A and B are shown apart, each in its own frame.
Chain A
Amino acid sequence: MKSHIEQEILHQIAGHDRSANNTAPLFDISKVNRRQFLKITGSTASLVIGMQLVPKTALAFDPYPTGAEGMPHKTVTDPQVFVAIDSDGTVTLTAHRSEMGTGSRTSVPMILADEMEADWSQVKIVQAEGDEPKYGNQDTDGSRSLRHYIQPMRQMGASVRYMLEQAAAVEWGTDASNVKATNHKVHMIGSDGNPTGESLGYGELAKVAMALDVPSFEMLSFKTDDEFRYLGKGEIPIVDLHDITTGKARYGADYTTEGMKFAVVARPPVVGASVKSFDSSETLKIPGVENVVEIAGSMPPAKFAPLGGIAVVANNTWAAIKGREALKVEWSESLHDAYNTTAFAEQMRATAKKPGKVMRSVGDPDGAFASAKKVIAHEYYQPHMQHAQMEPLVAVADYKEGKLDIWAPVQSPYGARTDVAKALGLKPEQVTVNVSLLGGGFGRKSKCDYVIEAAIVSKEIGAPVKLQWTREDDIKHGFYHTTSVERLEAAIDDNNKVIGWRHRSVSPTIFSTFMPDPGFTSDLEAGMGLVDTPIGVENMSIESGEAKSHTRIGWFRAVSNIPRAWGVQSFIAELAHELGRDPKEMLLELIGPDRKIDPVAADMKDLWNYGEPYEEFPNDTSRLRGVIELAAEKAGWGKTLPEGEALGIAAHRSFVTYVASVVKVKTASDGSISIPEVHTAVDCGFCVNPERVASQMEGAAVMGMTVAMYSGINYENGAVTNSNFHDYPVARISEYPKKVHTHIVEHPFSVHATGIGEPGVPPFAPALANAIFAASGNRLRDLPFGESVG
């Protein structure tokens, strides 16, 4: 069992539910209060009518449990919270998850609209403030929005449709079985079963309908898959499309308020250092600079507490930036002054060569390695990375008379609200967090240090303030993706069969941000492609080596899946080469026969399955094989390619979604490489919005390319040496994969929908490395490749 503090951290990180056997239903029908009557409040009088208790049709889906039940504040299924209908027919739906580019602000409400038979052209979206007791969990990470909200959205849509039909039945003095809601109207159905032509618009019915009691789940009928109007079609553009293309979309820095000041902060170069002394005399001479405010520092584990420093407050951003340049600060020493990532990488490599803490053992791995004809072993390195989302961190805070209003791009608005309240000694009810669009997030904006800074400064100066991070601030003072060395070993017998498998991961844990550093990868991180490996070799040892953190570790899109896929998928292609096998066939052989991996039999009964009940979201190797074969087929795997061109393949399950990528590399005569095309196959269960799935896969290929080619945060003397896009580059249009083809495995609604924000990233870098090797014989084991490739 985990300690209380670990449980709490897991809860905060990912709504972790330890039980792999969680079968609590999402909708507990046994608790349903069967109502005999439905009270209808009209504009003139109240009346009571009898109503049907039997659903009109059989359920179009069986509700299934999800990890949402393990999240703080779970889910809310009250349509009165999420839906409003105006008398003119406008349907206003509340988006309660943060939009950072996946399209969830469109796709999640669209589920509700589809089920309630709303006409999307009459739907408006409003963004919820941070209020989980009201809306349910809002922590937008872990690729969870669709996974956790597809069922509540359908339930609420069906509820509103039911209420509209009831209201129409009352209006017409008939039974609800004689009416049917279709595309924003309720139609009367004649005795012949056909519409009579008489109808009432949703706007006309709204007042009566929305005053009705919300029906229980068992009273609802649901649309069948073939009745979906929007789901699975990919025809609805994102709701912010027009505003984005005209500059009207509002991000964090786009909010202003009367009397608002502008601030930037000088932060300590080394985590844990604090202000020893400072001289602001030159700063205060800069025209426009009004004030400086000291912010108290923190030493990990400090969760999302600010690093501390000196805020320079001015009447415009430029003056604040200039004021900061003129500031003289002496920083204290820190425990982490000696952190040097080059030396640390060597330490991790040395640790990876020694036996580690065994996290999972199958068969007799030591025996297999002892009896092997040959052992193949390689190490794969991945440096720290920073999110580099296009919108640097920013928050507007307005503290006035015990009330704090925040406008900010935050992934977890309620988390920010509670953390800010705590930092300022306020109650959450004294704090409002308004959520703007996020100019990218990738995990950085779930950590609200920047919001706390703005709140502290606003309270101190007694005025609203926009606190802006510069690009340098973002790159130098982040929460960094952990660094890792993944060592893979294979024991080969006389028949060139792999009889033993060892994967040893050495990587500072994200838990060090939340608790005294445990020094080993956590169960949560081990569930991201380490212990949950699909590899089915009969003797396996999965191990973790000790590595202490010297910075603030935070989650980055796809988290530990990136280094694990990097190591495992590269190693498999290396084995294939050494054993004279085709890489795709080698991959499928190592995965083994189709099966849902039994976590108990496979010595991983404590497996962290992205917080999901394992029975509902098992590790199904047939689906992994499915995406491998689909991507390979579409890419023309096995066909002869022109000289200098080659394919590489990699596949990975993460966030309970399966993705395989086949990357084609073309080598020019000068040794430089280009990527003419990528084929990505994705199995995300029932696909709500294929158009946005494709856009996520296209984007994941570009981010994957940046991971492969460029991303490396380096430390010397405890401080990050990178500063901006010249020394922390990201892929540009001139070098992106020219064409990413996305192939989505089609499933009915009964195959649980899963998220797509993160799973596209992990397979890309190993697929690219494998393609580079196939094209040139150059085997790359250290990320980023940088100068190692042309």
Chain B
Amino acid sequence: MAISFKVNGIEQSFDGDPTMPVLWYVRDVLNLHGTKFGCGTGQCGACTVHIDGSATRGCLLSVDAVAGKEITTIEGLDSEGNHPVQKAWRAMNVPQCGYCQSGQIMSAAAFLSSTPKPTDDQIDQSMAGNICRCGCYQRIHEAVAMAATDTTEG
């Protein structure tokens, strides 16, 4: 039986393996490649998407668990790519290789929507699930803080 849900606002239904993780569904079936494979075990955060607005690891969440829900990937975060977090990321020149940044941005965006005025410790704790092997953490921290200012002022 087909499973139905929305991806970036568009109705989708899937009648393949219901245990397929959302990560592989959006990548291999929908060809939405912004969501990245990093570890497959929920430890690195490269596959972070929003499920009904909450940051979730797409590699551990099977498609059957998102029936009726709204999935947002990096491609759907902002139609112009100008979410405050994305703008802050560019203003701070955060990325090096860039591979983990979709997941970082999705985590930061969900975090700021629930915690608009975070402390430094809250930023680090909330972003600790996203690994950046290039080591852009200093700028990630600064960009989240900057986006928080933008969000609260805007």
Nearest neighbor of B95 in chain A, beta-carbon distance = A244
> Per-residue 0/1 for B22-34: is the Cβ within 8 Å of any A Cβ (1 yes, 0 no)?
0010011101111
CB atoms of A439 and B99 under 8 A apart: yes
Nearest neighbor of B39 in chain A, beta-carbon distance = A471
Q: Return the contact of A316 from the options B28, B77, B89, B93 (Cβ within 8 A).
A: B28
CB atoms of B43 and A725 under 8 A apart: yes
List chain A residues, Cβ under 8 A from B28.
Answer: 262, 316-318
From A51-59, A189-197, A298-306, A698-706, the one touching the partner chain is: A698-706
CB atoms of B138 and A253 under 8 A apart: no
CB atoms of A316 and B24 under 8 A apart: yes
Q: B40: CB under 8 A from chain A?
A: yes
CB atoms of A471 and B38 under 8 A apart: yes
Which of A247, A695, A734 counts the most B-chain CB atoms under 10 A from its CB?
A247
Interface members, chain A 238-253 (any B CB < 8 Å): 238, 240-242, 244-251, 253
| Least Cβ–Cβ distance between A438 and chain B, in angstroms | 6
Q: B2: CB under 8 A from chain A?
A: no
CB atoms of A736 and B138 under 8 A apart: yes
| Least Cβ–Cβ distance between B144 and chain A, in angstroms | 9
Q: B137: CB under 8 A from chain A?
A: yes
List chain A residues, Cβ under 8 A from B44.
Answer: 390, 471, 725
Asked, given contacts A238-B95, A287-B17, A317-B28, whether A471 binds B131 with beta carbons under 8 Å apart, the answer is no
In the complex, A410→B141 CA distance in Å? Answer: 30
CB atoms of A733 and B33 under 8 A apart: no
In the complex, A254→B46 CA distance in Å? Answer: 14
Q: A102: CB under 8 A from chain B?
A: yes
CB atoms of A390 and B100 under 8 A apart: yes
List chain A residues, Cβ under 8 A from B140.
Answer: 733
Q: B61: CB under 8 A from chain A?
A: no
Q: A691: CB under 8 A from chain B?
A: yes
Interface members, chain A 101-128 (any B CB < 8 Å): 101-103
CB atoms of B27 and A471 under 8 A apart: no
CB atoms of A703 and B125 under 8 A apart: no
Q: B16: CB under 8 A from chain A?
A: yes
CB atoms of B29 and A724 under 8 A apart: no
CB atoms of A101 and B97 under 8 A apart: yes
| Least Cβ–Cβ distance between A350 and chain B, in angstroms | 35
CB atoms of B24 and A317 under 8 A apart: yes
CB atoms of B135 and A698 under 8 A apart: yes
Q: A435: CB under 8 A from chain B?
A: no
Asked, given contacts A262-B28, A392-B38, whether A733 binds B130 with beta carbons under 8 Å apart, the answer is yes
In the complex, A440→B98 CA distance in Å? Answer: 8
In the complex, A98→B125 CA distance in Å? Answer: 34
Asked, given contacts A244-B101, A390-B38, A391-B36, whether A237 binds B93 with beta carbons under 8 Å apart, the answer is yes
List chain B residues, Cβ under 8 A from A103.
Answer: 96
CB atoms of A390 and B133 under 8 A apart: yes
Q: Return the contact of B131 from the options A441, A468, A470, A725 (Cβ within 8 A).
A: A725
In the complex, A237→B73 CA distance in Å? Answer: 25
Asked, given contacts A316-B28, A725-B43, whether A440 binds B105 with beta carbons under 8 Å apart, the answer is no
CB atoms of A698 and B136 under 8 A apart: yes
Nearest neighbor of B74 in chain A, beta-carbon distance = A247
In the complex, A470→B65 CA distance in Å? Answer: 23
| Least Cβ–Cβ distance between B111 and chain A, in angstroms | 12
CB atoms of A241 and B39 under 8 A apart: no
Nearest neighbor of B32 in chain A, beta-carbon distance = A247
| Least Cβ–Cβ distance between B62 and chain A, in angstroms | 9
List chain B residues, Cβ under 8 A from A40.
Answer: none
Q: Return the contact of B17 from the options A100, A288, A472 (Cβ within 8 A).
A: A288
Q: A628: CB under 8 A from chain B?
A: no
List chain A residues, Cβ under 8 A from B145.
Answer: none
CB atoms of B24 and A440 under 8 A apart: no
Nearest neighbor of B100 in chain A, beta-carbon distance = A390
> Per-residue 0/1 for A723-741: is the Cβ within 8 Å of any B Cβ (1 yes, 0 no)?
0111000111110111110
Asked, given contacts A253-B33, A698-B135, A733-B141, whether A318 binds B20 with beta carbons under 8 Å apart, the answer is yes
In the complex, A318→B14 CA distance in Å? Answer: 14
Interface members, chain A 741-776 (any B CB < 8 Å): none
In the complex, A256→B27 CA distance in Å? Answer: 10
In the complex, A256→B97 CA distance in Å? Answer: 21
CB atoms of B46 and A390 under 8 A apart: yes
CB atoms of B86 and A246 under 8 A apart: yes
Residue pairs across A and B with CB atoms within 8 Å: the count is 186
Q: A437: CB under 8 A from chain B?
A: yes
Q: A280: CB under 8 A from chain B?
A: no
CB atoms of B36 and A251 under 8 A apart: yes
Q: A388: CB under 8 A from chain B?
A: yes
Nearest neighbor of B80 in chain A, beta-carbon distance = A246
Q: Return the contact of B90 from the options A245, A388, A392, A441 (Cβ within 8 A).
A: A245
CB atoms of A726 and B43 under 8 A apart: yes
CB atoms of B102 and A699 under 8 A apart: no
CB atoms of B127 and A247 under 8 A apart: no
Q: Return the contact of B37 from the options A237, A392, A740 (Cβ within 8 A).
A: A392
Q: B128: CB under 8 A from chain A?
A: yes
Q: Return the contact of A736 from the options B29, B32, B95, B137 (Cβ within 8 A).
A: B137
Nearest neighbor of A700 in chain B, beta-carbon distance = B135
Which of B44, B99, B140 counts the most A-chain CB atoms under 10 A from its CB?
B99
Q: A183: CB under 8 A from chain B?
A: no
Asked, given contacts A250-B33, A725-B131, whether A102 binds B96 with beta carbons under 8 Å apart, the answer is yes
Interface members, chain A 526-585 (any B CB < 8 Å): none
Nearest neighbor of A321 in chain B, beta-carbon distance = B40
CB atoms of A101 and B98 under 8 A apart: yes
In the complex, A616→B94 CA distance in Å? Answer: 34
| Least Cβ–Cβ distance between A568 and chain B, in angstroms | 24
CB atoms of A439 and B39 under 8 A apart: no
List chain A residues, Cβ under 8 A from B19.
Answer: 318
List chain A residues, Cβ under 8 A from B29.
Answer: 316
List chain B residues, Cβ under 8 A from A471.
Answer: 38-41, 44
CB atoms of A390 and B96 under 8 A apart: no
List chain A residues, Cβ under 8 A from B125.
Answer: 734
Q: A93: CB under 8 A from chain B?
A: no
Q: Return the contact of A470 from the options B17, B40, B132, B136 (Cβ within 8 A).
A: B40
Q: A389: CB under 8 A from chain B?
A: yes
CB atoms of B124 and A733 under 8 A apart: yes
CB atoms of A733 and B128 under 8 A apart: yes
Q: A684: CB under 8 A from chain B?
A: no
| Least Cβ–Cβ distance between B8 and chain A, in angstroms | 11
CB atoms of A698 and B138 under 8 A apart: yes
CB atoms of A248 and B34 under 8 A apart: yes
List chain B residues, Cβ under 8 A from A691.
Answer: 93
In the complex, A698→B139 CA distance in Å? Answer: 9
- Top 6 nearest A-B pairs by Cβ distance? A247-B34, A702-B135, A439-B99, A101-B97, A247-B74, A101-B96
- Can you show 21 pairs from A to B with CB atoms below 8 A apart? A99-B97, A101-B98, A237-B90, A244-B98, A246-B86, A247-B75, A251-B36, A253-B37, A287-B17, A316-B20, A316-B28, A317-B24, A390-B132, A390-B134, A439-B98, A440-B134, A698-B135, A699-B96, A725-B39, A726-B43, A737-B138
A439-B36, A695-B139 given; 9 more Cβ-contact pairs under 8 Å:
A242-B81, A247-B35, A391-B99, A471-B38, A471-B44, A733-B127, A733-B130, A734-B124, A736-B135
Residues on A facing B (Cβ under 8 Å): 99-103, 237-238, 240-242, 244-251, 253-254, 256, 262, 287-288, 316-319, 321, 388-392, 437-442, 468, 470-472, 691, 695-696, 698-703, 724-726, 730-734, 736-740
